[in-house]
């Protein structure tokens, strides 16, 4: 699924660290201020590594 769909009601404005599970078993982590910044990080990550941007399995906020 897309990051926008997976992140619904999980990403908050103000900054946070988020785990993104993708490709049925891979995971990465980003710090982002809001959903727009998280999307920017995700799209760049996918472009650099040759992943599809619609390969998201889940998004979870890391407790800080």
The domain limits of the chain are 3-62
Q: Give residue-wise pLDDT tens across range 7-63.
A: 999 999 999 999 999 999 999 999 999 999 999 999 999 999 999 999 999 999 997
pTM for this structure? 0.93
**What is the overall mean pLDDT for the chain?**
96
C-alpha dihedral, 10 to 56 to 52 to 62, nearest 10°: 60
Closest CA to 29 of 13, 45, 14, 47: 45
pLDDT at residue 63 in the model = 76
- Say how far apart CA 21 and CA 9 lie, in whole Å: 16
Which tokens sit at 64?
Answer: 């800080």
Sheet holding 56-61, edge to edge: 26-32, 16-22, 56-61
């Amino acid at each position: 699924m897309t990051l926008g769909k997976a992140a619904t009601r999980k990403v908050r404005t103000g900054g946070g660290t988020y785990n993104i599970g993708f490709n049925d078993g891979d995971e990465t982590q980003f710090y982002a201020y809001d959903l727009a910044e998280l999307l920017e990080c995700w799209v760049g990550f996918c472009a650099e590594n040759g992943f599809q941007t619609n390969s998201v399995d889940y998004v979870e906020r890391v407790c800080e």
